Amino acid sequence: PAAVWIVKPRIDDNDSTDIVAATDLGPVGADVLQTAVPLCKALNAKLHVIHVVDHANTLPDAVSNAESMVHQQLAATDHRTLPFGVKVNVVQGRADECILKATQDCCADVVIFGTSSKTGVSGLLPGSTVERLLPELACSVLAMKPEGFRSMLPSDFWTLHRPFQHD
């Protein structure tokens, strides 16, 4: 299985390209950052990394611990070579609400998701956060599937059914 791109037309008129990388701090979150950094470099884009600490997590150091873990994941990339640097934002709340706000705040052109889900809408998109956000996002989406993700659709579905082909 490969990542899923959902491309939407760019709606802002600014000259900068902004990419939001949402990490869950797990292995697929690390994959998100490993993908986002070279993409930002290739597009000369600004990188905004977000991690959301569940609002139910009331541990006193939850946000600072999560921020430390985000920086550890970033350390495994060559993020220091990005011309605009990296803005890290660790917040508490609901993941879908916080990620939507982050994309709106920076007028994101692309959001890259990390998820731990193994299934999703028709076996194509991984996880409920992506499912909840997809209709709300004004930007393109790159959904990174976790190791072991299996689509519920047969492998020849797209070649046999061609659902978007018009005669």
- Tell me if 56 sits within 8 A of 14, measured CB to CB: no
Give the mean model confidence (pLDDT) for residues 140-166. 65
- Does the pLDDT at position 148 exceed 80? no
- What is the structure's pLDDT at 120? 47
pLDDT in tens, 63-73: 999 999 999 99
DSSP 13: -
Angle between helix axes 27-43 and 62-75 (nearest 10 degrees) is 60
Query: What is the rounded distance in angstroms from the CA atom of residue 20 to the CA atom of residue 39?
Result: 11
Among 167, 163, 77, 64, smallest CA distance to 122 is for 163
Q: 75-125: per-residue pLDDT in tens? A: 999 999 999 999 999 999 999 999 999 999 999 999 998 765 544 444 444
The pLDDT of residue 156 is: 64
Query: What is the rounded average pLDDT of the residues 32-53?
Result: 95
Higher pLDDT, 89 or 162: 89
**Ramachandran category for residue 142: left, alpha or beta (phi over 0 → left; psi -120 to 50 → alpha):** beta
Mean pLDDT over each residue of the chain, to the nearest integer: 82
Percent of the chain with pLDDT over 90: 51
